[in-house]
């Protein structure tokens, strides 16, 4: 439970397992991050990607992540250690222990692809391959939009401009 006047204190104190100074707490509570590591409880539905499934991540080698894993008594290779992109954090169970982590652009792409449902992941792979083709790009982008891939994600994967993707949305 949060302490009066210190929103988020209990959550982050429990997550990191050390008392936090008010300044560090404020930094963590407002920290910009690209993904979130979290622990699934036994028997919980498998959401996100297993940390080991996304390949090597620079954040996994940081002292903060090592300490977080050690505090919870799990190895990085455990199926319980999951990762989700920041835009999918709402899927993390409220009672799950979690830690925000930064990612490079390549790492963020891998996390998105491993976390996405397979049909979306297949479409995203096609969108990424799009950079090497100019044939039928409008149809590919329309299929992705129809399947629910967000326009900013399409821009990121294809290298198209937001105006090009926006033109297809309005067409």
What is the Cα–Cα distance from 102 to 91, expressed in whole angstroms?
19
What is the predicted pLDDT for the residue at 158? Answer: 83
What is the predicted pLDDT for the residue at 30? Answer: 39
What is the predicted pLDDT for the residue at 21? Answer: 44
What is the Cα–Cα distance from 93 to 95, expressed in whole angstroms?
6
What is the residue-level pLDDT of the chain in tens, covering all 171 positions? 444 443 444 444 444 444 444 444 434 443 457 899 999 888 777 888 889 889 899 999 999 999 999 999 999 989 899 999 988 888 888 888 999 999 998 898 899 888 887 677 777 777 777 766 666 778 788 888 878 888 888 888 888 888 888 887 776
What is the predicted pLDDT for the residue at 58? Answer: 93
What is the Cα–Cα distance from 170 to 88, expressed in whole angstroms?
26
- The count of other CB atoms within 10 Å of the CB of residue 77 is 10
What is the Cα–Cα distance from 131 to 24, expressed in whole angstroms?
42
Q: What is the pTM of this model?
A: 0.55
What is the Cα–Cα distance from 161 to 31, expressed in whole angstroms?
28
What is the predicted pLDDT for the residue at 142? Answer: 81
């Amino acid at each position: 439970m949060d302490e009066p006047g210190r929103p988020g204190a209990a959550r982050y104190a429990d997550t990191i397992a050390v008392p936090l100074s008010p300044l560090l707490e404020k930094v963590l509570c407002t920290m910009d991050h690209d993904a979130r590591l979290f622990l699934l409880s036994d028997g919980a539905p498998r959401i996100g990607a297993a940390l080991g499934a996304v390949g090597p991540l620079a954040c996994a080698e940081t002292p903060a992540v090592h300490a977080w894993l050690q505090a919870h008594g799990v190895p990085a290779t455990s199926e319980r250690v999951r990762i989700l992109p920041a835009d999918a954090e709402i899927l993390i169970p409220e009672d799950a222990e979690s830690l925000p982590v930064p990612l490079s652009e390549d790492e963020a792409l891998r996390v998105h692809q491993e976390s996405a449902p397979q049909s979306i992941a297949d479409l995203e792979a096609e969108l990424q391959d799009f950079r090497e083709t100019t044939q039928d790009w409008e149809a590919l982008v329309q299929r992705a939009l129809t399947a629910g891939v967000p326009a900013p994600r399409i821009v990121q994967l294809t290298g198209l401009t937001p105006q090009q993707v926006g033109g297809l949305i309005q067409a």
